[in-house]
Amino acid sequence: MQDRIGRDSPVKLHLPPRVSPQGFAAALKAYAGVVGKDWVMASESDRDAYSDIYAPGDAAQWAASAAVAPANVEEVRACLRLANEHKTPLWPVARGKNLGYGTAAPRMAGSIVLDLGRMNKIIDIDPKLATCVVEPGVGFFDLHDAILRGNHPLWMSVPGNGWGSVIGNALDHGIGYTPYGLHARNLCGLEVVLPDGDLLRTGMGAMSNNPAWHHFPFSYGPTFDLAFTQSNLGVVTKAGLWLQPAPEASLELIFDIPEEGDIGWVVDTIAPMKISGLIEQNVFIPSWLGKMVLKGQRHDFWDKPGAIPEWRVAELLKQYKLGYWQVALRLYGEEPVIKAKAEIVKAAMKRHLAAPPQENWWRQGDAIGQYEITMGVPSAVPLQMSDWIGGRGAHMGFSPVVPASSEHVLGQLKRSRKIIADHDVDFYASFTIGGRFANNINMLMYDRDDAPMVENMKALFNALITQTAKAGYGEYRTHLGWMDPVMDTFDFNNHALRRFDEKVKSALDPNGIIAPGKQGVWPAAYAAQRHSAPQDGAGKGGKA
């Protein structure tokens, strides 16, 4: 399949619920009157382009009917008014690169993608107070390059895939690996178009021309900023973002951690230093597979179907002198401070691990390589993982959050290891210590053209959600196909969170025109579409 130029079967036109062909054509004509006919994209090829490129199964389950690309906030407002008038729901995407979680595709088939990619202005970069103001179409590469061109002493925080939007990733609760790695927390002051086309500015921006809009994170009264993240309550058209001042120096300490069970003491050692502030970054701890892929493709090491057996894993780790985990920890700041911190970190690790870490210093003026994600350099190279499995490779992440202590981390590890082994799939996990919590990402890689493999992944994903929820843990983010089942797992007081979300949603958006079904929140107007993705346990209650 490597040489294949092709795609899924073309995504057939799937109209929005209750909209006739004539009504749909009239809506597209009306949108063209706002954005220009060239920015209404409704061909078969366009529908394919807005489908989920990593779709587990038929991408038509999440088929966009068309895409509309406004150029500015006034056009966004006009599009929302038209969506209400024509009852054509919109699925806003910033750049549409949410790979592994649905790409640009909408949760509800027939939705029109509102592609904000043309809105790509970097409105301001302030090196003094380390802020910027950007539109949603600004990608990590764009902002990074603008900072470089301006020679600004600023660093970004970037996720594993740097191809996407700075704002889009923050709004979807994306995570990076620097001191600014909780991206939603970097947002400061939003401009939001509401479902009726009204325009809101949060924080100090609620006052006309207030210069503190992107410096003070709260509104006068209730602060709704986070209500617009993983949300269908509005379309964010502009945001302030805090950036990291470029440090004078940085030191990377790389520890190879030999045994699987060592993750317990690793977390108990690092989390307190992260909570105290001694370690500032989000510490990323991947399992061995992250290094093994440097040595070749999967079939170079194990050419049979099914998971690589444990005896072979042990052989490979021994042969290539790899630890089961790796901690690549980075310190930032003034050199004497880094040196003092490094001594504390090394002493803490030495209580459990005799081998000293590899040390890589960087100082102002030194070049920064293009793969330095922990120094805020964006890269799309991590997406090469598809090449490991071969074919038309794809991935999904199962991403529960646990408290950052050995008890919870080891419990989660043992549970997911068993479920993944029961489905005969390779285990590739990471824990990212963000302070008091750890994000556990279990990477599930598959060949989209291998139907039995895809079916097995779907069954595995369902089992992971169900059994993890039974143990009391939930996911922080998920693919379109599992937004309802994951929302089902948040069950306190008869799903009070969802009941609240949907009460607010239906009040603000009575026609349900912004992103129906996003994160399992359905407006009354489209409540019948809940559990409309076939693989999500529809009809089985979807309840963990």
Partner 1 sequence: MIRTVLFAAAAMLGAAIALAQAGGPHGPPPPYPLRPAYPAGDRHAPGGDGKVLFEAHCGYCHLAGGMGSNLITKQQVMMGHAPDQGLLANRSDLTADYVKAVVRNGKGAMPIQTRVDITDAELDAVARYLGKAG
Q: Is 153 in the site for partner 1 (CB under 8 A)?
A: no
With CB under 8 A as the rule, give the number of residues binding partner 1.
79
> Smallest distance from the beta carbon of 265 to partner 1, in angstroms?
20
3-class DSSP state of 446: strand
3-class DSSP state of 260: helix
**Active-site annotation holder among 201, 298, 417, 476:** 476
**Active-site annotation holder among 50, 54, 101, 473:** 101
Apex CA 269: angle with CA 268 and CA 270, to 5°? 100
3-class DSSP state of 371: coil
Q: Which of 150, 258, 296, 541 binds partner 1 (CB under 8 A)?
A: 296
> Smallest distance from the beta carbon of 41 to partner 1, in angstroms?
5
Please confirm, yes or no, whether 101 is among the known catalytic residues: yes
| Closer Cβ to partner 1, 51 or 440, answer by number | 51
Which segment (46-54, 75-83, 310-318, 409-417) binds partner 1 by CB under 8 A?
46-54
| Closer Cβ to partner 1, 262 or 491, answer by number | 262
> Smallest distance from the beta carbon of 527 to partner 1, in angstroms?
30
The token duo for 538 is 């529809």
From the list 477, 460, 416, the residue with the least C-alpha distance to 263 is: 416
How many residues are recorded in the chain?
544
Q: Is 297 in the site for partner 1 (CB under 8 A)?
A: yes
Cα 155 to Cα 153: distance, rounded to the nearest angstrom: 7
Which segment (78-86, 160-168, 193-201, 480-488) binds partner 1 by CB under 8 A?
160-168
DSSP class of residue 357? P
Please confirm, yes or no, whether 54 is among the known catalytic residues: no
Return the number of other C-beta atoms located less than 10 Å from residue 310's C-beta: 11
Question: Interhelix angle for 406-422 vs 451-470, to 10°?
Answer: 150
> Smallest distance from the beta carbon of 6 to partner 1, in angstroms?
6
Q: Which of 24, 31, 50, 482 binds partner 1 (CB under 8 A)?
A: 50
Place of tokens 């194990």: 302
What is the residue type of 377? V
* Positions 357 through 376 that interact with partner 1 (CB under 8 A): 358, 360, 367-374
Q: Is 329 in the site for partner 1 (CB under 8 A)?
A: no
* Positions 442 through 471 that interact with partner 1 (CB under 8 A): 443, 445
DSSP class of residue 6? -
| Closer Cβ to partner 1, 23 or 382, answer by number | 382
Cα 448 to Cα 94: distance, rounded to the nearest angstrom: 25
Ranges of beta strands (E only) in 158-261 are 187-193, 199-201, 235-242, 244-245, 249-257
Please confirm, yes or no, whether 477 is among the known catalytic residues: yes
* Positions 216 through 255 that interact with partner 1 (CB under 8 A): 252, 254
Active site residues per annotation:
101, 476-477
